[in-house]
A and B are shown apart, each in its own frame.
Chain A
């Protein structure tokens, strides 16, 4: 067991070590180094674990799929932690707490990904939420961050309350909190009392409601833009990548393990949520003039696309092999989207730190090509990847997802996906056009040399995005080997 959860132990103990060191003496650079090295060691152990260790008990199940996704999470956290130091170095508040909260948020995400029991799921989710709230409010003295954190705190408490009520109802219907025991208990339950199925459906809908808040899926998406705008960039990145990826993975596993496909009402509600998210996200992003709000709305749309994966898996009419294809497609798309989005956030953090961006209005990106050619080039590639243009990883993610959806004959959803992607193309290309515009007055800025760390990170991300876009086989083979469903 200890081998399987070794990455957790490493991340948790680095958070504790930072706390102890901070109690003795505050030192920013050591804290940053400790965070980075802790995450690196955790990543290495997690990667070793992927195909070697599988462990499961009532609470957690560590198999090759969850290990692969955990490794993805740690990789995202590691890449983000490299950009924390230059940002935190500029603020006047104490900095060490941010690293502790960051590591604990990462740990919460890892717990959520592997959880197999409602109690571990809920505790992990709460670690994630409770560490993100102070991270939103970390340094900004302005009212934007305060508003964002209060909104997030209150709304996510309500979502958690819904999830708890749903868990209660499912426990009432089945008498178990373990995901894998739900179907058989339900089969016994329906034989004796007919309304246990009803309670299960209502409970699942409540959990769906809570989860669609956490993933900002369409009917519960109102908070997301304000929080993306108000929170510090690094926190937004944690919220948009780590937190959402963890909750999505959990949701997907819950749906598979507890056999949602047997209950048509749940599937139709889920399809409705997917359609609404794809359309609403893209339409809202269409005319946004703030890049963070634009990213927030585009993330709604992307999670709408991602829902096609679970829906394809639960489809009743899928061709043979459709289920595993859909699982692989979901994992691939998740990896592709997370890497691309994190790249954009790292880029924005860098530009903000170097004072290359006054605010996040799209106008301040004007002429970026002439001021900051490398960043603008990377940004272009990442935007093309989000839009799903060939030769990027985003294209293959979408291609894979469409293939899975065709295989499971989800024609309506597929139609909406195509329309939504075409709408989405407009605003991604608009950003590229704005960056290309020439601004005469601002060209005389002095050219500071780029940080080596930033060049390294950016080349890694471009290599991943383009490299895996050209040779997707490398990732597909790894995912095929790891995905078991």
Chain B
């Protein structure tokens, strides 16, 4: 059963990814990208990694994607683009994304409603957030620090490039 659910979620992820790449409008593409993220998160969930699944939703679908959508929408300004957007943001445009996420929702509802033993013959041990934390801050502590420096590098770089841009504009 869990195999079937996995294949369903994987198909949704693939379809949404293909739709992301082929959209002409950036906002439509992002909508499908969010669906891809949600499907991947469901896959993590099926593999017994609820923490990774939650992070996937919070970090990717939640923060980064919403930021993305806002930035893309703010780039469109003025009378002409407003009229164009009135055409673009019809509810019918989001139909594909809604259908795909409905499939994911049904899967989640199914997973929550049926008893656990129906799903899998072998016992699966989910990885808890506590285990992840202990592993990260014991044997992988060096990686956490390197990742911190990586973020710092990206921050300094983005800061410099963005400021240069601002000075050029003014």
List the B side residues contacting A93 at CB < 8 Å.
164
Contact with A along B141-170 (1 / 0, CB 8 A): 011001101101110111111011000100
Q: Would you list the 9 A-B pairs with minimal beta carbon distance, nearest first?
A: A134-B157, A97-B160, A123-B146, A104-B153, A131-B153, A127-B150, A130-B153, A130-B154, A134-B160
A-chain residues with CB within 8 Å of residue B168 when the two chains form the complex: 141
Q: How far is the CA of A138 from the CA of B142 in the complex (A)?
A: 30
Q: How far is the CB of A365 from chain B (nearest CB, A)?
A: 32
Q: Cβ of A127: which chain B residues have Cβ within 8 Å of it?
A: 146, 149-150, 153
CA distance A124 to B149 in the complex (A): 10
Instruction: Kindly state the separation between the CA atoms of A137 and B160 in the bound complex, as whole angstroms.
Output: 9
Bound complex: CA A400 to CA B28 (Å): 58
- Residue with the greatest number of chain A CB neighbours at <10 A, chosen from B149, B161, B164: B149
Interface string of A54-81 (1 = CB under 8 A from B): 0001111000000000000000000000
The interface residues of chain B, by DSSP majority, are classed as helix
A438 to chain B, nearest CB (A): 43
Assuming the contacts A111-B146, A123-B147, A124-B146, asked whether A58 and B139 have C-beta atoms less than 8 A apart, the reply is yes
What residues on A are CB-neighbors of B159 within 8 Å? 97
**Residue B140, interface by CB 8 Å:** yes
The answer, yes or no, to whether A100 is at the interface (CB within 8 Å) is: yes
With the chains together, A123 CA to B142 CA distance in Å?
Answer: 11
Q: Is the CB of A59 within 8 A of B143?
A: yes
Q: Which chain B residues border A100 with CB–CB below 8 Å? A: 156
Q: Which of A25-80 contact B (CB under 8 A)?
A: 57-60
Question: Given the complex, which residues of A lie within 8 Å of B157, measured CB to CB?
Answer: 101, 130-131, 133-134
A404→B35 CA distance, assembly (Å): 54
Cβ–Cβ < 8 Å partners of B152 in chain A: 15, 19, 104
A interface residues, how many (CB within 8 angstroms): 30
The complex places the Cα of A108 from the Cα of B149 at a distance, in Å, of 9
- How distant is A169 from chain B, measured CB to nearest CB, in Å? 16
Residue A101 contacts which of B140, B156, B164 (CB distance < 8 angstroms)?
Answer: B156
- Neighbouring B residues of A60 by C-beta, 8 Å: 142
For A126, list chain B residues within 8 Å (CB): 150
Contact with B along A82-108 (1 / 0, CB 8 A): 000000000001100100110010011
Min CB–CB distance A123 → chain B (angstroms): 5
A97 and B155 alpha carbons, distance in the complex (Å): 11
Q: When chains A and B are docked, how far (Å) is the Cα of A100 from the Cα of B139?
A: 28
- Contact, CB under 8 Å: A101 / B153: yes
- Docked-complex contact A134 and B161, CB < 8 angstroms: yes
A12 interfacial by beta-carbon distance below 8 Å:
yes
Query: Is the pair A138, B160 in contact by a Cβ cutoff of 8 Å?
Result: yes
Q: Which residues of B contact A133 (CB under 8 A)?
A: 157
In whole Å, how far is B105's beta carbon from the nearest beta carbon of chain A?
28
Shortest distance in angstroms between A100's beta carbon and chain B's nearest beta carbon?
Answer: 5
- C-alpha gap A130/B156 in the complex (Å): 10
A119 within 8 A of B: yes
CB distance from B117 to the nearest CB of A (A): 27
Q: How far is the CA of A138 from the CA of B163 in the complex (A)?
A: 11
- Complex Cα distance, B158 from A442, in Å, reads 43
- Structural contact, A19 and B156, CB atoms closer than 8 A: yes
Q: A101-B156, A134-B156 are in contact. Are A12 and B149 (CB under 8 A)?
A: yes
Other than the given A59-B143, A120-B143, 9 more pairs (CB < 8 A) read: A59-B142, A93-B164, A97-B160, A101-B157, A108-B153, A120-B146, A126-B150, A131-B157, A134-B158
